[in-house]
Amino acid sequence: MTDTPNTEAKPSAPEKDHGVLYIGMDLGTSRTSVSASNGVRETVHSVVGYPKDVVSRKLLKKDVLFGTEAIEKRLSLKMYKPLEKGVLKYTGDANHDAEAKQNLKAAEDLIGEAIRLARPRKDELVYCVIGCPAEASMKNREAIIEAARAHVDSVMLCSEPFAVAYGLDWLEDVLVIDIGAGTTDLCRMHGTMPEDADQVTFDVAGDAVDHELDRQIEQSCPGAQRTVQMVKEIKERYGFVGDASERAKVKLPVNGKPTEFDLTDQIKAACAVLIDPILSGIDKLVSTFDPEFQQKLKNRVLLAGGGSLLKGLDSAIEAAMHDRLGGGKVLRIEEPIYGGANGALKIAHDMPADYWEQLK
């Protein structure tokens, strides 16, 4: 997929003397992060909650809650995760399908919250570049544009791994692996805009690790009670690939009583589900690259996204590449949470003013 810019947001023409706030947004299944030209950087869990009834509305004194606040108050809320596997849950006709309409509203509200967190001034135009999965369908790309339209003056999309590479100025002979919650995206760069053949997306990512860890706990810890959020927090605290640096001893309730379980082996097995799909993606992108440049590509593999924070993942991928491809070098970027948003912001800055005008 090429990184084709998309359509406008607000229909009214801007006044020429207004300033512009550029925003890079990484719209993720688990987290949405923004980097803005005013120096603001923020991240929010990609969950939206609406009061269930008049009692919850009276209690909360809000019509909509986001992120951590929504998670903490979820018993009073109807919760929505508007993104799944890296794209919007917008598969129906929003004019006739109530669930599709609500998911689109939740997506609009989430994007609006992310824009608000960037603190635009009232007199500023908002130009936004949004990162999405490398192989997102045209329908889903259009749905993201539709969700952003109410909050920005002009918007374009790019693939998440391309944004990471662009932000770091690694635009030649580099392979980016961006591990999110819903998808893992791979993109090879060779000095031009990436094409379809340069990108791979698959849905084995952070959520898949969570599901496997939950299955492992179900099988090995009789009676252990947990929620999806509890499992995710266990993974984020103890997650690792390879050899454990510490035992993962976790207390989970059994019939209401906190009970300690050693989940080290279960966490190791769950996190390992990432390795084979990533290696298959690397195999595909390396083997179809120009033979003279394959070694350079293997030695410049960048690991990004929230999933890259798993301890030992970079070393495990590097070891697997040595066995299957005869070598390679994997580097974890310094700011995995903001890598995509930082790159999207840089793209926004580098787009000529007349280009943004055309998108309005």
Cα–Cα distance list, 184 to 113, 237, 241 (Å): 25, 20, 17
Element (H, E) at 34: strand 31-36
Give yes or no for residue 344 having a pLDDT over 80: yes
Residue 255 burial (CB count, 10 A): 7
Between 21 and 4, the higher pLDDT residue:
21
- Average pLDDT, whole number, for the chain? 89
| pLDDT at residue 91, as a whole number | 54
Question: Ramachandran region of residue 47, left (φ > 0), alpha (ψ -120 to 50) or beta?
Answer: beta
Is residue 142 within 8 Å of residue 87, measured between CB atoms? no
Give yes or no for residue 5 having a pLDDT over 50: no
Report the candidate in 249, 215, 236 with the shortest Cα–Cα distance to residue 310.
236
* Domain membership of residue 214 as a residue range: 206-272
Residue 310 lies in a domain: no
* pLDDT tens-digit readout, 231-279: 999 999 999 999 988 999 999 999 999 999 999 999 999 999 999 999 9
Report the candidate in 243, 235, 236 with the shortest Cα–Cα distance to residue 319.
243
User: ∠ CA(317), CA(323), CA(324), 5° rounding?
Assistant: 85
| pLDDT at residue 72, as a whole number | 94
| pLDDT at residue 12, as a whole number | 34
Residue 67 lies in a domain: no
Residue 24 lies in a domain: no
| pLDDT at residue 14, as a whole number | 35
Share of the chain above pLDDT 90, in %: 73
* pLDDT tens-digit readout, 141-158: 888 888 898 899 999 999
For the entire predicted model, the pTM comes to 0.85
Residues 6 or more apart whose Cβ sits within 8 Å of residue 53:
none
User: ∠ CA(26), CA(167), CA(19), 5° rounding?
Assistant: 75
Distance between CA atoms of residues 231 and 271, nearest Å: 12
Domain count, the chain: 1
Q: What is residue 96's DSSP assignment?
A: T
Report the candidate in 332, 306, 239, 302 with the shortest Cα–Cα distance to residue 32.
306
Phi, psi of 27 (to 5 degrees): -90, 100
For the domain that residue 233 is a member of, what is the CATH number? 3.30.420.40
> Residue with structure tokens 């084709």?
4
Q: How far apart are the first and last CA of the chain?
A: 23
Residue 31 lies in a domain: no
Give yes or no for residue 15 having a pLDDT over 50: no
Residue 100 lies in a domain: no
Residue 198 lies in a domain: no
Residue 195 lies in a domain: no
Distance between CA atoms of residues 26 and 342, nearest Å: 9
Residue 239 lies in a domain: yes
Share of the chain above pLDDT 70, in %: 91
Between 307 and 355, the higher pLDDT residue:
307
Reported as a pLDDT band with limits 50, 70 and 90, residue 96 is low
